[in-house]
Structure 1
Amino acid sequence: MEYVFTPPPQAAIPVVGSQQFFPVHRVYLVGRNYVEHAKEMGHTGREAPFFFLKPADALVVVPDGATGDMPYPPLTSDLHHEIELVVAIGKGGSDIAAADANAHIWGYAIGLDMTRRDLQGEAKKQGRPWDTGKGFEHSAPIGPIHPIAQTGLIESGSISLEVNGARRQSGDINQLIWKVPEIIEHLSRYFVLQPGDLIYTGTPAGVGAVQKGDLLEGTVDKLGSLRVKVA
């Protein structure tokens, strides 16, 4: 096949303990999936799950033990951090029942959903999509994939984020409003899930702004840490 220009490389994430890489198809994210975070964003109650996407080339892949660089993006003065458990899909399908969903999980990672909050807020006011606030370049830092064969199912465990050594976010995976099997069930009604899909499952309360030069370190039980510097 002859292309009119060289196509971009396949987005891929290293697999812990292996020379293999996990090829990325789509990046889905779940909105307001912790109660206290929903409250800090001005919402209450258990709303129906909703989703948005980021392009695969928004990923900033940070190898195990390394510190990644994320450039501070243009057109914002209010860049926010959101630490999340990421689920990597290894078996696709549609209309997947929650009872069967765990069989579709290949592994887990730590991710950051970086958000231009001022642009997102303006889009909300005008009833417009969130793309400019969420889907920009380098907006999805992620650590290596940990195979579920090594971690087992992750249904609980601490999730936290520090900025320059000060704790900002803290919670437990068991506090997810919509649990991972339920997320997969609902998401697979809207889209045909494919091997290589990533699902950012939501962030605990405590989101806030970062500045150039800040060092972010997120941790999730069983997955180690993810270190990113705002360049």
Structure 2
Amino acid sequence: MKKQSIPGLSHLQFRNIFCIGRNYVEHAQELQNEVPAQPLVFLKPTSSIIFDGDAIHIPPQSKNVHHEVELAVAIDKAGKNIPKEKVLEHIGGYGIGIDVTARDIQQKAKDKGHPWSVAKGFDTFAPLSTFVKKNQIANPQNIDLHLTVNGETRQSDNTKLMIFSVADLIHYLSTIFTLQPGDIILTGTPKGVSPIVSGDTIEASLDSGLTTLSVTVE
């Protein structure tokens, strides 16, 4: 995608999308994965970003595409080796994201020890809501995440269940990458991931509607 401002944080333009895998114990268990000892990091391309009212396109290469609702964090200040106690200074705001995953492609990659980039990176595989400024959320480790498919609740949990907190993640990422304004961190999904198919409507919310996201599936 061409450079685009982050909805709700118009002074920032999208840069990198850093994603965290297996950051909730019960989600790791539901996919029969080990709980990681340190954050499991992968990236999505900016071409995968869509917004409220847009559509996820099921690629012909996959027969099993899943939703994964996540807290999204927008970086507003560059930093390297950021101390955990200074993390809040680098956050611009929070949003709701859906890490769309071609689960069958991912499983084949995992079985061979290959990267997950294809399974996670198709166009439209990163729906993002409008972001709210950080001062609207007192504690990122006490945020309700909720996702429905066709009105049926599929995922509903709280960020207090994260294995690695937002502070942990930003500190860790900044020891590897220099974080830049406009970087997005998708912080992992709780239990309840499940398939989506053409014709579905997906609705996600952060903290009982502080910000919402609605997309269809084609």
Do the structures match in fold with TM over 0.5?
A: yes
Of 145, 149, 152 in structure 2, the residue corresponding to residue 159 of structure 1 is 145
Question: Residue 120 of structure 2 aligns with which residue?
Answer: 134
Is it true that 1:230 corresponds to 2:211 in the alignment? Answer: no
Equivalent-residue separation in structure 1 for 2:157 and 2:133 (angstroms): 23
Is it true that 1:55 corresponds to 2:45 in the alignment? Answer: yes
Is it true that 1:39 corresponds to 2:29 in the alignment? Answer: yes
TM-score, with normalisation over the residues of structure 1?
0.89
Q: Which ranges in structure 1 are unaligned for 5 or more consecutive residues?
A: 1-7
Instruction: Kindly provide the CA deviation profile for residues 68-88 of structure 1, in whole angstroms up to 9, marking residues without a partner as x.
Output: 212222200100000000000
Is it true that 1:173 corresponds to 2:166 in the alignment? Answer: no
Equivalent-residue separation in structure 1 for 2:32 and 2:60 (angstroms): 26
Is it true that 1:205 corresponds to 2:191 in the alignment? Answer: yes
CA contact (8 A) 1:168 1:206 kept: yes
Equivalent-residue separation in structure 2 for 1:147 and 1:157 (angstroms): 14
CA contact (8 A) 2:140 2:166 kept: no
Query: 1:45: Cα distance to partner?
Result: 4.0
Query: 1:203: Cα distance to partner?
Result: 0.3
CA contact (8 A) 1:22 1:145 kept: no
TM-score, with normalisation over the residues of structure 2?
0.94
Query: 1:94: Cα distance to partner?
Result: 1.0
Query: 1:225: Cα distance to partner?
Result: 1.6
- Tell which structure's C-alpha radius of gyration is larger: 1
CA contact (8 A) 2:146 2:205 kept: yes
Equivalent-residue separation in structure 2 for 1:178 and 1:121 (angstroms): 24
Q: How many residues align?
A: 217
Question: Residue 13 of structure 1 aligns with which residue?
Answer: 6
The one-letter code matched in structure 2 to 1:101 is V
Equivalent-residue separation in structure 2 for 1:165 and 1:21 (angstroms): 34
Query: 1:48: Cα distance to partner?
Result: 1.2
CA contact (8 A) 1:11 1:57 kept: no
Question: Residue 91 of structure 2 aligns with which residue?
Answer: 105
The one-letter code matched in structure 2 to 1:137 is D
Question: Residue 123 of structure 1 aligns with which residue?
Answer: 109
Instruction: Kindly provide the CA deviation profile for residues 44-76 of structure 1, in whole angstroms up to 9, marking residues without a partner as x.
Output: 4452111000011210022xxxx2212222200
Query: 1:153: Cα distance to partner?
Result: 3.9
Instruction: Kindly provide the CA deviation profile for residues 97-153 of structure 1, in whole angstroms up to 9, marking residues without a partner as x.
Output: 111111110001110000000000000001111111011111100011111133344
SS of residue matched to 1:121: helix
The percentage of counterpart residues that share the same residue type is 39
Equivalent-residue separation in structure 2 for 1:71 and 1:217 (angstroms): 16
Question: Residue 4 of structure 1 aligns with which residue?
Answer: none
Q: Which ranges in structure 2 are unaligned for 5 or more consecutive residues?
A: none
Equivalent-residue separation in structure 1 for 2:14 and 2:117 (angstroms): 19
